Amino acid sequence: MLTVLGLSVGAVPEASANRADPGAPARPAFDPSLLAAPSPELPDLPKVSIELAQVPVSSPVFDRAAAAYAEVSNQQSTARDARLAIDQARTTESVYGRPLNASRVAALARIAGLTERLDDIERAIADMAVQAFVSGGNTARVAQALTSETPSINETDQRAVLGQLSMDVLLAERAAYRERIASARARADEASDGLAAVSSAGHAALEQRFDALRAEVSSGQQVASERVTYEQARVLATVDGVEFPLVALDAYYRAAESEGAARPGCGVEWWGVAGIAKVEGRHGTYGGATLSPNGDTSRRIIGIQLNGTNTTAVIPDTDNGAFDGDAAYDRAIGPMQFIPSTWRAYEADGNEDGVMSPFNMYDATLAAANYLCTASSGLSADRGLRAAYFSYNHSVEYVENVLGHARGYQRRVDVPERRD
């Protein structure tokens, strides 16, 4: 409510205030750990000041939203753990597969080398047998030399057949190489079987990973959706210890932060703005209005006609009814009850959405903070506040009423001090 010529111009009856019910049952405490997860970039996600992340709030809607959000977050964690376990298994299989493949390659290379040497031995044996045959040796014994796996027990007969050459050495070497080739082939087969098992397990894990990844993505979408619902419920929930929602507290906090940065000597605090918001528009709830997550009021809060009756000043229309719908006389507008002409002088975009509206709590409180800082300084002290409040409404009773509410909010809500 602003004043013109020292007269009240739009007081809202305080009897309609929303008051906390001291007899209401206790609600579950707010769990700040739910805010630890990063907030996804979603268009409908409220952007509450990070400094207010630990401010406790409560409402039945918020409690349900918090429980639902926690449940889908747990589901996402479970799905992610399942997918990570599969990835770990696939990594392990890959680690086992590399040495198996190396063993198989080495075994095949050894088989190739041994086979080449065995072929040389076979040719040497054949050459010696042919020479013995040509020289008139015993045909039966030549055949025995060609097929024997080990040297003949009758070494005298064998040397006679092969012309005193070291056929026994060649035969022994042939047998040894054949044994080595068989051993290498067994190792190669074993490695191949292991690789086949790893490959089969890998294919099965790949199929499982697809299902796990799909579950993870699906749960992630649910988390994103529930996060929006949770954050919207939280911003509309009532701040513990007071009667206004978190979105209103955020508007007051941002307004004080903005003015503190622009005018360090002003010293306005969030609770100083909240005191006026209480008396002027019941924190945006006067007349049954409610606040949305972006600070808009559900209905336009418009005061009585300023036509000189009801102890008001006479203020002819200044906005052609654009804000207050009255083309004859002005009416105080919005949760901070600005006269249209005063709003035009101090209008602000508190929530940085590109629109300056007196019916938005963020915009209205920033404009009010600007107005207070223009009227006075040192607003963290009662003296400065009284001067600023008196400029808002030239009534000592009004000033003391607002100041009482402001100091009460300061005591009951723990909010970080303004940054220097």
More confident residue, 332 or 25: 332
Confidence grade of residue 339 (pLDDT, cut at 50, 70, 90): very high
User: What's the whole-number average pLDDT of the chain?
Assistant: 81
Which of these ranges, 18-27, 183-192, 377-386, has the smallest mean pLDDT? 18-27
Q: With bands split at pLDDT 50, 70 and 90, how would you rate the model's confidence at 114?
A: confident
Residue 114 CA to its chain's centroid (Å): 61
> Do 302 and 333 meet the contact criterion of CB atoms below 8 Å apart?
yes
Angle of CA points 276, 291, 418, to nearest 5° = 50
Amino acid at residue number 194: G
> In a 10 Å sphere around its CB, with 0-12 CB exposed, 13-18 middle and 19+ buried, how is residue 21 labelled?
exposed
| Spatial distance between the Cα atoms of 111 and 35, rounded to a whole number of angstroms | 63
What average pLDDT does range 308-313 have in this prediction?
88
- How far are the Cα atoms of 124, 357, 371 from residue 345, in angstroms, in the given order? 112, 13, 9
pLDDT recorded at residue 219: 82
The torsion defined by the Cα of 268, 271, 275 and 277, in degrees rounded to 10, comes to 90
Q: What is the pTM of this model?
A: 0.67
The model's confidence at residue 321, banded by pLDDT at 50, 70 and 90, is very high
Going by their DSSP bridges, the two strands 302-305 and 331-333 should be labelled as antiparallel
Instruction: Look at residue 314 and tell me whether its pLDDT is greater than 70.
Output: yes
Confidence check: pLDDT of 245 > 60: yes
Cα dihedral 143/144/147/148 (nearest 10): -170
Polymer length in residues for the chain: 420
Bridge partners of 305, per DSSP, are 331
Q: For position 33, what pLDDT does the model report?
A: 45
Measure CA 6 to chain center: 52
pLDDT tier, 37 (very low <50, low <70, confident <90, very high otherwise): very low
**pLDDT tens by residue, 400-413:** 999 999 999 999 99
- Confidence band, pLDDT 50/70/90 cuts, at residue 418: low
Question: DSSP code of 304?
Answer: E
Q: What is the pLDDT of residues 206-234, one digit of tens each?
A: 777 777 778 888 888 888 888 889 999 99
